[in-house]
Every structure is written in C-alpha cells, then in structure tokens.
C-alpha cells in the first residue's frame, strides 16, 4: 500500500497528516478552515486518496500559515507515498467543467518542481477564505512533491466554482498520474531509470 504520514510542528502550526494513494477517497479530520476542509474533501473524493488531517494553526492571524503548511505536508506525504514511482503512468491531465467554470490541469510527477498557475479568481474571499491562498497551497504542494503543474482557468465567473474546479481537476490529474499501469511492467517511467 502506498501511504505515508507527516508531522510538522512550528510556532504557527501543528499538523499531523496521513495519506493513502490506494484508498477509497475518504477525508477525515479538519484543517480548522471551513472552506478549505470542503476543498480537501473534494480533493480526496476525486483523487481516490484517503486523507486524514489534524491541524491547529494561528487562524486568529489569518488562514495563510495553516493552508500553506498543509500544502507542504501534503506535498511531502505525496512524494513519500509514491516511492520509486515504478509502474505509474507519470502524467495526468484533464479539462474539467464545474458549472460555468472550466479548468485545465496538466501535471508530471517526474521529479522537477515548477508551477504555472493562470487562474484569475474574481472574488477576494469565499466566505471568510482568502482566495489567494489557493495558489499558495498549490505552490507549497508542488515544491514539496517535486511535480510539474500547469493549471489554467479557461472559463468562470463564480469564485467558489472556479476554486472547486481547480481542486477537482488537480485531484483527477494526480489520480491519473499515479495509476499503476500493468503494461509498464513495474518499470520507472523515465529514460534516466529514476525519478
């Protein structure tokens, strides 16, 4: 089973996170940030990954540290759970509709960290959640998972729909990328022989 557990304790956040790539798409625990929990639940469901988070953060300041640090932990957990990447598809992509929003996501879990985030989100907030934190979360994940990620908003007016589309598209693309393909004969999908 491809799983991992990460613990991170700082003066700003205390996070314990468990990830299972071969799960049933179940989310448990809480980040302490309501809208973000909704997005993490969607992420789990659409990736098929089991995700358990126990987090406490300095949300009296704002949600930035909590969201970013969960991105750090989830990225590290993802990288660890993937192991040597033997047999995986490696790439994932989707153009995903969410009502009027349309999100393109393409990624490579090939060991190089780079993100292009071209998603204008019209509102500054959804409820009490700062929408700029979506990019912060994704950047933290990418840096710590060593993946190459492109996300682009093709259409969309409603901030909630756009963000939901981003998380669903990201989840579905990751799911595709880490799927084990029996035709790969357990080989690492790189001419270098290592990712």
The CATH number of the domain holding residue 76 is 3.30.230.40
Average pLDDT over residues 70-79: 98
* Res 68 pLDDT > 90: yes
Average pLDDT over residues 69-73: 98
- Beta bridge partners, 117, equal 151
For residue 143, give the H/E element and its range. Answer: helix 133-145
In a domain, 77, yes or no: yes
Least confident of 27-36, 47-56, 144-153, 185-194: 185-194
In a domain, 151, yes or no: yes
Average pLDDT over residues 32-59: 98
User: What's the mean per-residue pLDDT of the chain?
Assistant: 97
User: Band of the pLDDT at 21, cuts 50, 70, 90?
Assistant: very high
Contact at 8 Å (CB) between 82 and 109?
yes
Average pLDDT over residues 103-130: 98
Measured over the CA atoms of residue 34, residue 36, residue 39 and residue 45, the dihedral's sign is negative
- Report the DSSP pairing between strands 148-155 and 101-108: antiparallel
| The pLDDT of residue 189 | 87
In a domain, 126, yes or no: yes
* Res 33 pLDDT > 90: yes
| The pLDDT of residue 191 | 87
User: Band of the pLDDT at 78, cuts 50, 70, 90?
Assistant: very high
In a domain, 195, yes or no: no
* The token pair that represents 125 in the structure block: 């907030």
| The pLDDT of residue 1 | 82
| The pLDDT of residue 126 | 98
Domain carrying residue 35: 3-184
In a domain, 89, yes or no: yes
Number of domains in the chain: 1
What's the CA angle centered on 39, arms 33 and 40, to 5 degrees? Answer: 85
180/117 Cα distance (integer angstroms) = 27
């Amino acid at each position: 089973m491809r799983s991992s557990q990460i613990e991170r304790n700082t003066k700003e956040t205390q996070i314990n996170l468990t990830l299972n790539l071969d799960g049933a798409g179940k989310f448990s625990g809480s980040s302490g940030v309501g809208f973000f929990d909704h997005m993490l639940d969607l992420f789990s469901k659409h990736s098929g990954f089991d995700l358990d988070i126990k987090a406490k953060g300095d949300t009296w300041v704002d949600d930035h540290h909590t969201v970013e640090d969960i991105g750090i932990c989830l990225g590290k957990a993802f990288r660890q759970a993937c192991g040597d990447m033997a047999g995986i598809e490696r790439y994932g992509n989707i153009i995903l509709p969410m009502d009027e929003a349309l999100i393109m996501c393409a990624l490579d879990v090939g060991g190089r960290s780079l993100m292009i985030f071209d998603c204008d989100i019209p509102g500054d907030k959804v409820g009490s959640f700062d929408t700029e934190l979506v990019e912060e979360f994704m950047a933290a994940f990418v840096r710590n998972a060593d993946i190459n990620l492109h996300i682009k908003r093709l259409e969309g007016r409603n901030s909630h729909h756009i963000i939901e589309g981003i998380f669903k598209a990201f989840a579905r693309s990751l799911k595709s990328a880490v799927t084990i393909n029996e035709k790969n004969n357990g080989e690492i999908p790189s001419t270098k022989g290592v990712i």
